[in-house]
Amino acid sequence: MMKKVISILLAVLMLFALVSCGKDETPDAGTTPNDSIPGQKPDDDRPETPDSKTLVVYFSMPDNVDNSSVVINGEILGNTQYMAYVIQENTGANIFRIVPESPYPTDHDELVDLAKDEQNDNARPKFVGEIENFIEYDTVFVGYPNWWTDMPMILYTFFDTYDFSGKTIIPFNTHGGSGFSSTIATIKSLEPNAKVKDGKSISRNVIADAEQEIIDWIKSLGFEKPATPPESDDNETNLPDTETTTPPDTEKEGKTLVVYYSATGNTERVAGYIANATGGTLFELVPVNPYTSADLNWTVAGSRVNLEHDDVSLRNIELVNTVPENWEEYDIVYIGYPIWWAIAAWPVDNFVKTNDFTGKTVIPFCTAVSSGLGQSGELLAQMAGEGDWLVGKRFSSGVGENEVVEWVNSLTE
């Protein structure tokens, strides 16, 4: 169970709020990009439930360091974020994090002022990314903190963006004392053609110990925890064998190179699967000035990724080695990267700009939480100017080797 990997990061030293007697959720404990859009935790996409397709959508801000937080697999999670993960884990849902296009301040006072200003202005803050095939989802869990006895205004943007007609909405939230306030009624007014359930509200004071309470609530809704597939000796998930598990004929298809940039290891792992399946050679893109965890922390104003995101001129990332040995010999080139702000992580740009792709087949792949490959491959193809660029593939951060190999094999059918 998830509980086995949860530990309390910090004791409750001081609880902040957004309004007196319920200034609900100061920034939740933040995360750094983990081969994903900065600001999005790269959760595994889960299979749909037996009777319907389910999605968990949430907005969460990082907690101040002296607030209580929980840690899963070494990563600090926010209150609403943690609740979203427990729901995902126990429903088999896909997940989508609402990430502001312009990052919110993590300073408490600045956030309080901004939240109030947005509310007074009836603002509609933009968010990055989009939900693929939203029409296919029947049930959508929607999570948010309570700010000034209301939803954050970016939730209004979300509800304005998507049509929930005929869907079931299950709200959940975290708070400092105000519960849901009137947000359930607000959602019903925003989505009159949807079925809106009462939902679940949990105080951030007890969120770290609320896993079982959340699970019991999920079960009361009729959801059951998805069965866990058996594990092989190498701790990789066993999936049913298919007729396409044989690696492609690399001699017939040409010499293969697997190029990748990986911030924390997820894209690197997928690149390794591809190299094993194709007999290809791995080539890692290593910045001369490597990214640290602090560099990747999108929640901190002035962090490296935020500065580079805001100023395109800063994205000229020098690489330790840009041109692979015997580059001219490779006929097939896989290029892998995490998705940052809906595009390819920019450390791959100099590789694409430097090398001549004439006569080569190029296959992009990426790792992300919920955003698809989008236009990232097309933009890289435009940057290269040459080569036969295929559509490519997006993988979740927790993808197993069998799924990657099956995709590789499908390219030769």
Q: Judge whether residue 1 has pLDDT over 60.
A: no
- Rounded Cα distance, 412 and 244, in Å: 10
**DSSP line for 350-379:** HHHHHS--TT-EEEEEEE-SS---TTHHHH
- Rounded Cα distance, 121 and 118, in Å: 5
Q: Catalogue all structural domains in the chain, each as residue range(s) with its CATH number.
A: 2-220 (3.40.50.360), 250-410 (3.40.50.360)
Which tokens belong to 82?
A: 């943690």
- Give per-residue burial for 116-151: e unless 16+ CB within 10 Å, then b: eebbeeeeebebbbebeebeebebbbbbbbbbbbbb
- Rounded Cα distance, 232 and 245, in Å: 16
Contact 31, 76 (CB under 8 A): yes
- Rounded Cα distance, 267 and 254, in Å: 23
The mean pLDDT of 108-128, rounded to a whole number, is 91
What is the pLDDT at residue 182? 93
What are the residues whose beta carbons fall under 8 Å from the beta carbon of 139, sequence distance 6 or more?
49, 52, 53, 54, 55, 167, 168, 170
Q: How confident is residue 229, by pLDDT bands cut at 50, 70 and 90? A: very low
Q: Among candidates 95, 136, 61, which has minimal Cα distance to 370? A: 95
The CA distances from residue 73 to 8, 28, 89, 188, in Å, are 12, 17, 14, 36
- Rounded Cα distance, 250 and 268, in Å: 21
What percent of the chain has pLDDT above 90?
45
The mean pLDDT of 306-330, rounded to a whole number, is 91
The CA distances from residue 62 to 94, 323, 362, 393, in Å, are 22, 39, 38, 31
**DSSP line for 95-139:** EEE-EESSPPP-SHHHHHHHHHHHHHTT----EE---TTGGG-SE
Q: How confident is residue 2, by pLDDT bands cut at 50, 70 and 90? A: very low
pLDDT digits (tens, 9 = 90+) for 25-63: 443 333 333 343 343 333 332 323 334 589 999 998 864
The mean pLDDT of 83-105, rounded to a whole number, is 86
Residue 395, strand partner residues: 367
Q: How confident is residue 297, by pLDDT bands cut at 50, 70 and 90? A: confident
- Give per-residue burial for 187-203: e unless 16+ CB within 10 Å, then b: beebbeebebeebbbbb
The mean pLDDT of 8-25, rounded to a whole number, is 33
What is the pLDDT at residue 339? 85
Q: Judge whether residue 265 has pLDDT over 70.
A: yes
In 204-243, DSSP assigns E strands to none
Q: How does the average pLDDT of the chain come out, rounded?
A: 78
Q: Judge whether residue 157 has pLDDT over 80.
A: yes
Higher pLDDT, 243 or 261: 261
Residue 254's identity, in one-letter code, is G
Contact 175, 210 (CB under 8 A): no
- Rounded Cα distance, 70 and 7, in Å: 6
- Rounded Cα distance, 377 and 389, in Å: 8
Q: How confident is residue 282, by pLDDT bands cut at 50, 70 and 90? A: very high
- Rounded Cα distance, 274 and 283, in Å: 12
In the chain, DSSP finds a helix count (H) and a strand count (E) of 11, 18
The mean pLDDT of 149-178, rounded to a whole number, is 94
The CA distances from residue 225 to 79, 170, 222, in Å, are 21, 17, 10
Q: Judge whether residue 358 has pLDDT over 70.
A: yes
